[in-house]
Amino acid sequence: MSLRRQITVFALVGVVATLLHYVVLIALVELAERPPVMAALCGYVVGGIVSYGLNRRHTFASDRPHEEATWRFALVAFVGFCLTYLFMDVFVARLGAPYLPAQMATTGVVFFWSFVANRLWTFRPAE
């Protein structure tokens, strides 16, 4: 698959995962009255689970065994999780930005990190 197509498919998978992330985020903030930073992290986990399955199969068509790909994906996701915490904390808790625009900016940063790390490391063909 060409790099351009791979980025497109990764972005589409990202849309699905992000929609789930935002549903969880908004539901926890608006319905459950939870703090935005905690809600963003919960949404990130839900989106991440969906992202692994779809990216493994459709974006990268990986043959790397689940035993390897899963922990690699989890490590990349953990770094993304930490980036999500860092950026959401700075934007919302420290700068007082509204949580949805803050999450949108954070999503953009994490998107690029995740694509590069998953392409070059997580789902790289097994050796």
User: Would you state the pLDDT for residue 28?
Assistant: 97
Asked whether the predicted pLDDT for residue 126 surpasses 80, the reply is no
Q: What would the pLDDT profile of 76-89 be if each residue is shown by its tens digit?
A: 989 998 999 999 99
pLDDT at 99: 92
**103 has a pLDDT exceeding 80:** yes
Domain layout of the chain by residue ranges: 3-122
Amino acid 123: pLDDT: 94
Over range 91-120, report the average pLDDT: 93
- Tell me how far apart the alpha carbons of residues 93 and 65 are, in angstroms, rounded to a whole number: 40
Residues 56 and 50: their CA atoms lie apart, in Å, by 10
CA torsion, ordered 72, 78, 84, 87, to nearest 10 deg: -100
The chain-wide mean pLDDT, for the chain, equals: 93
Structure tokens that stand for 33 in this block:
């009255």
Average pLDDT of the residues in 46-75: 93
Report yes or no: 99 and 106 within 8 Å, Cβ to Cβ: no
pTM for the model stands at 0.74
